[in-house]
Every structure is written in structure tokens, then in C-alpha cells.
Structure 1
Amino acid sequence: MTSPTIGVFALQGDVREHLHALAGLGVEAIGVRRPSELERCDGLIIPGGESTTMFKLARTFELFEPIQKRIAGGMPTFGTCAGMIMLADRIVDGTSDQETLGGLDITVRRNAFGRQVDSFEGNLDFTGLDDPVHAVFIRAPWVEQVGADVEVLARVASGDAAGRIVAVRQGPLLATSFHPEVGSDSRIHRVFVEMVVSTSSTAAGLGKGR
């Protein structure tokens, strides 16, 4: 198939960094601010930022339901930090009116690692990658519970948060508590691109069989 088009939710958050990482992998990457742009996408990244602001802006710009429908229809989607919260079915310590797009059968705790001053970095073993990932955590969530179909990809190795889940996958959905777009390591983005290519190829094959 031709190279996929991957969108980055562009109403708030670390948009530029994700677009840069995707461009470095030779993928067509676009910012998504309206439904017409979402329609062009084979996959979507929801970046880090402020999850409460994100859902409100998604409502304002009439993107909330279109993204929900695409996720329910099997569109590969990758959420980082706040994006993980947006994909979670359940939130602990969210605001009273907080909504999520859902799709991932996980419970996340918002700002689990603390405030901005508690941001930290560390190396993580990540399932499927030969060498550890250098992970940057900024007001990050962690995953408190996972459903039976959710694969845990990474946990914090040491410190007070040792054992906490910080990366998961469920079918075409991928999420990390940390920011893989920070720095020059694009391996997790490559994993997502491969998910998009695989899903798009499967869909094309099913279409040919009709």
C-alpha cells in the first residue's frame, strides 16, 4: 500500500514534536483540527497536553464524536500522556465533568506522578524493542487497572512508582504515560506506524474480497 496518512490532534498539546517524529519516518503527517482533516487519516496521535482542555476543545470544534466513531471503527490511535487519559475508559482523579474518547479498557490516575516539579526521566524496558526507551514523564498519569485484552508494554523499573504501568496496547490502540516525541528516539512512533500500515493493509484486503 502507499504510505499512510497519520494525523495529530492539533487543538492542544505537543503537536509539532509528533509531526516531526512522523516526518522523520517518511510518513505523511497532518494536524487535525476539523472533521474533514480527520477523514483523510489512516491513524491518529493524541498528544500530551491538558486532558480537560482537550476534551472541551474537541467538543467545541466538533471533533469529539467523529474521533470516537473512528476509534470504535478500528482506526489505530496512539495517546501519549494526556492522550492516554483521553483513550482510557475510566479515570481516577479527573474533574467532575471530564469526558474521554474511550476505547482502551484501562483505569488511569490523572497526574499520578505529581505536579510539574515532579517531572522526571528514566529508562524503561518496552515490549518488542531490543533496547530500553528513555522516557520523559511530565505531570504524567499511570495505569491502575487493565482489562483482560490489554497488553502491558512497560512498567516503571525503580523508585517509589516501581511496577506502575506506563505503556499499554489493546488491538489498534496504543498509549504511553510518557512523551516518546521528546528526543531523537522514534522507535515507538515506528511501532505505531507499523500498526497503521498493518491495519490499513488488512482493510484493503477485505475490501478486495467483497
Structure 2
Amino acid sequence: MNAAAGAIGVLDLQGGVQEHLDHLRRIGVAARPVKRAAELDGLAGLIIPGGESTCLSRLLTIFGLDDAIRQGYGNGLKLWGTCAGAILLARENVGEMPFLGLMDIAVNRNAFGSQLDSFNRDALAPAVAREPIPLTFIRAPKIVQAGPGVRILLQLDDYIAAAEDDQILVTVFHPELTPSLAFHRYFARKCGLKVAETDDAALDPDWTPQSWTRFSYHV
């Protein structure tokens, strides 16, 4: 088996890359940044982090990672899109052209308004954790429709905040910006990786918003 097969990659073009790597390290999962198509080889999963979806789509095209991700998906690679990542994975982007189009969902980009309309709240996603977990929304999209093969993990008000199908997980919020490791554990298990048995709702008491700066990651 390729040594990377026990690892999860984080797309390293823009957005919350180091924060995701830090969370994966905290649950004991091997993780590495991904900047080149060849670095997808053998990974169990790939996180497409939040950032700016238009910028990310251009960079993915420039680096040839768009086709590489589609090919990896066709070969069984698990994907998790957070915020902008969810937009890129959606089959429909209301009023705009979709990009990767790999998941049967429709998203409304910037549905909450500007950066000033970002917010935090707690919510219960029963399939992910038994207790409410903290959520951080930053210029977030809304998932406004899900196809028959999509399972809704979290519904809030008039929109879907988290969903999955057999191969893809999407969240419109940023789990990597909170002390909760629940969604990272959930994705690692989706990738077939073992993580420590623990209370998935428990918050990491050692986490701070600056925690990721303690680690150094290299390509």
C-alpha cells in the first residue's frame, strides 16, 4: 500500500489550510498539504478548504488540479469541501456556473451577505456528535437543495449547513476554526481511517485560534 493511503491531504492554494492540518494532527491522522496533482496519489481523502471560490477555481485550473481531483474522485478519493470548497463541489451554483460539479447539491454563494455578516452558533448534528458543537460561518454559502443521493447532516432555518453522499462531505461553516474536532473525526472515518475512540462532542481544551502556528508543514 502506498504510504500516503493512510493520510488526508488539504488543498494548499488558498484559505484555512494550516488550521485543517492542525485539527487532523490533533486526532492522530497523517496529513499533508497538496499543491500539485501528483500529491493526490494514494491519499485516502482531500479537504478543499474555505477561501474565495472564484480565486480557488482559477488556481485549480492553473495548476491542473481540477482534472486531477475529478480523476481522483473517479478512483474513489473521498472529498470534504468547507465553505468555498462546498461551492466548488456543488453541481449547481445559483446564478453562476458550477465548477467541479461532483455533488448533487445546489448552493447559493454569499447567501448571508458580506464579511460583516459572519457569525458563530452552536447546533446539533446527531450523526456527527451527540451534543451541540460550535459552528463558525464566514461569508458562508447556503445549500438550498439536495438530490436524492445526498444525506442531510445539519439543517438550520431555511438551509442545509452540512450534507454528504457516499464519497463527499460538505459543510458551509468552518470546523477548523473552532475547538471541536468532531467533523474532522467524522471525515477521517468516512475515509476509512482509524481515529481514537473519544466523545466526539468534546472540545479540545488545548486549542486556541493560534494553535496551528505551533506546527511547521512542508511540501
Q: Same fold (TM over 0.5)?
A: yes
Give 2:159's match in structure 1, choosing from 151, 159, 164.
164
Give 1:197's match in structure 2, choosing from 186, 192, 200.
192
Deviation string for 1:107-157 (max 9, x for gaps)?
00000111100001111111311011211000100111110010011022x
Q: How far has the Cα of 1:62 moved from its partner?
A: 1.1
Q: How far has the Cα of 1:99 moved from its partner?
A: 4.5
Deviation string for 1:156-190 (max 9, x for gaps)?
2xxxxx23111000112100000000121111000
Contact 1:72 1:103 in 2 (8 A): no
Contact 1:11 1:33 in 2 (8 A): yes
Contact 1:125 1:155 in 2 (8 A): no
Counterpart in 2 of 1:112?
A: 111
Could you tell me which amino acid in structure 1 is paired with residue 50 of structure 2?
A: G
Q: For 1:15-164, list aligned pairs within 5 A.
A: 15-94=17-96, 98-128=97-127, 129-156=129-156, 162-164=157-159
Could you tell me which amino acid in structure 2 is paired with residue 113 of structure 1?
A: F
Q: How far has the Cα of 1:197 moved from its partner?
A: 1.3
Give 1:173's match in structure 2, choosing from 168, 171, 174.
168
Quote the RMSD (CA, aligned, Å): 1.5
Q: SS at the partner of 1:135?
A: strand
Deviation string for 1:68-123 (max 9, x for gaps)?
111233211111000110110110143xxx54212210000000111100001111
Q: SS at the partner of 2:72?
A: helix
Could you tell me which amino acid in structure 1 is paired with residue 191 of structure 2?
A: V
Could you tell me which amino acid in structure 2 is paired with residue 126 of structure 1?
A: A
Distance in 2 between the 1:24 and 1:5 partners? 13
Does residue 1:14 correspond to 2:9, yes or no?
no
Q: How far has the Cα of 1:61 moved from its partner?
A: 0.8
Counterpart in 2 of 1:204?
A: none
Distance in 2 between the 1:14 and 1:134 partners? 17
Query: For this pair of structures, how many residues does the alignment match?
Result: 190
Q: SS at the partner of 1:36?
A: helix
Q: What are structure 1's unaligned runs of at least 5 residues?
A: 157-161, 199-210
Could you tell me which amino acid in structure 1 is paired with residue 51 of structure 2?
A: G
Distance in 2 between the 1:63 and 1:180 partners? 24
Could you tell me which amino acid in structure 2 is paired with residue 108 of structure 1?
A: V
**Identity of aligned pairs, percent?**
41
Deviating 4+ runs (over 4 angstroms): none
Q: SS at the partner of 2:191?
A: helix
Distance in 1 between the 2:101 and 2:69 partners? 10
Could you tell me which amino acid in structure 1 is paired with residue 149 of structure 2?
A: D
Q: SS at the partner of 1:197?
A: coil
Q: How far has the Cα of 1:35 moved from its partner?
A: 1.1
Q: SS at the partner of 1:59?
A: helix
Distance in 2 between the 1:74 and 1:40 partners? 10
